[in-house]
Chain A
Amino acid sequence: MKQLPWLLIRLWVGGLFAAAGWFKLTAPVENFQAVLAGYPLLPHAVLPTIARVIPWVEWLGGMGLLLGFNTRFFSAVLTCLTLGFLTVLTGPVFTGQGTDHCGCFSAVGPAFTVTQMYLMDWINLFLLIFLLSRSRHPLSFDNLINKQGQSLPVDDLSTTGGSP
């Protein structure tokens, strides 16, 4: 029961990123590129590359957290991504563009304003740091694999003088 909040945090953050990636990946990339063009901090020359890379990072990172596979690695990746989002969104939030549609879930997903997403990114950042701080996660692939990995050394001990 003590593990439940950690599981919920992992599923919430993972689900959010996976959904954001999914909505962008299933739409033509030019749409997300057009959304990014609205953020002045991003250089236009790199927009096509960013528009192609970010949805994959969101999708794979989000699914990594949902499944609990390499949780700390994907938490670290998504922490970096969230820091990037916060950097990009800070300008529009404090220059009166906070009520615009942020385009974070593509145009077909849930519509959040820039300010709403900015606040959500801060929450996600703290949750991701919590996830990063833990080495074990309930109901995760990591746990399953670690248990299997640990079973061999235990057997080894029993045959190499572990018992009299």
Chain B
Amino acid sequence: MSSSSLPLRAGILLLLGAALIALPLSFRKTSAPPPAPRVFSRSVGPADAPIQIVEYSNFACPSCRHAQPMVKALLRKYEGRVLYTFQHFPWVNDSKSIHAHAAAQCAAAQGKFWPMHDWLFESQGVWRSPMRQGNEVFLEEAAALGLDPAAFGTCMEATETFQQIQNEWLQGQALGVVHTPTLFIQDRMFVGPEQLEAGAELWIEELLKKGK
């Protein structure tokens, strides 16, 4: 390279570098928190809690099941200071996953979201089994939980149920959610059990300290 081409190279490098760095950043989806959802049938904690946790989760996903004890431990430890809300984020190409979310949504309509939520995670292997086709397995569990079977059955067929799930899925996608579980703890995103275990508690402590 001749020495006369050096300033030209440096100039191009600077210009290109600036443009190439600015371009992806301007398209970047932020890790900003989702708008505060007030889905109280799927929320735990006081509405005026200083910290808000929103989890985008999928009942069919093994990592979400694995993360459940960690989430529950956080909610126990910071009880009264945290408002936790569950958001639907099923696999869109898996009808079992979508129907599981519909079952949870329909249980929520009768005030039994949490028992259904726990059963769906604990019995993932049961309802995901290829031997269990259709909604039968969810209807059986609804009956076991004491839900009105007719109302539950109607809800499981209703377009509004699936519309609600789809809306939450789209909302999650707009926020940059691609993997489950993804938790937003205030303005920070945690993806997967590893990130949750490594940083969630520290982050909540930091937020609580800042709030004092």
Question: Are A37 and B20 in contact (CB-based, < 8 A)?
Answer: no
CA distance A63 to B20 in the complex (A): 8
Question: Are B194 and A34 in contact (CB-based, < 8 A)?
Answer: yes
Instruction: Determine the main DSSP class of A at the interface with B.
Output: helix
List chain A residues, Cβ under 8 A from B30.
Answer: 28
Question: Are B4 and A149 in contact (CB-based, < 8 A)?
Answer: yes
Which A residue sits closest to B175, measured CB to CB? Answer: A28
CA distance A29 to B176 in the complex (A): 10
Q: Mark A52-67, 1 if CB is under 8 A from B, else 0.
A: 0000000110010001
Which B residue sits closest to A60, measured CB to CB? Answer: B20
List chain B residues, Cβ under 8 A from A148.
Answer: 4-5, 8
List chain B residues, Cβ under 8 A from A146.
Answer: 1-2, 5
List chain B residues, Cβ under 8 A from A26.
Answer: 24, 27-29
Size range of the chain B interface in the assembly? 20 to 34
Question: Are A59 and B20 in contact (CB-based, < 8 A)?
Answer: yes
Total A-B residue pairs with C-beta atoms closer than 8 Å?
81
CA distance A129 to B202 in the complex (A): 45
Q: Mark B1-15, 1 if CB is under 8 A from A, else 0.
A: 110110011001100
Question: Are B192 and A34 in contact (CB-based, < 8 A)?
Answer: yes
- Nearest CB of chain A from residue B199's CB, rounded to whole Å: 9
Residues A145 and B192 in contact in the complex (CB < 8 Å), given A59-B20, A63-B20, A69-B12:
no
Question: Are B1 and A28 in contact (CB-based, < 8 A)?
Answer: no
List chain A residues, Cβ under 8 A from B27.
Answer: 25-26
CA distance A31 to B194 in the complex (A): 12
CA distance A152 to B27 in the complex (A): 42
List chain B residues, Cβ under 8 A from A107.
Answer: 178-179
CA distance A22 to B21 in the complex (A): 11
CA distance A30 to B2 in the complex (A): 44
CA distance A35 to B192 in the complex (A): 9
List chain B residues, Cβ under 8 A from A22.
Answer: 24
List chain B residues, Cβ under 8 A from A21.
Answer: 24
Interface residue from A29, A145, A150 paired with B12 (Cβ < 8 Å)? A145
Of the listed residues A26, A59, A60, A67, the one surrounded by the most CB atoms of chain B closer than 10 A to its CB is A26
Since A30-B182, A145-B9 are in contact, a sample of 18 more A-B pairs with Cβ atoms closer than 8 Å, ordered by chain A residue number, is: A25-B24, A27-B29, A28-B29, A28-B191, A30-B191, A31-B179, A34-B191, A34-B195, A35-B179, A37-B194, A107-B178, A107-B179, A145-B8, A146-B2, A148-B5, A149-B1, A152-B2, A153-B2
What is the interface of chain A, defined by CB distance below 8 A to chain B? 21-22, 25-31, 33-35, 37, 44, 59-60, 63, 67, 69-70, 106-108, 141, 145-146, 148-150, 152-153
**CB pairs A–B below 8 angstroms (6 shown):** A26-B28, A28-B31, A33-B191, A69-B13, A145-B5, A148-B8
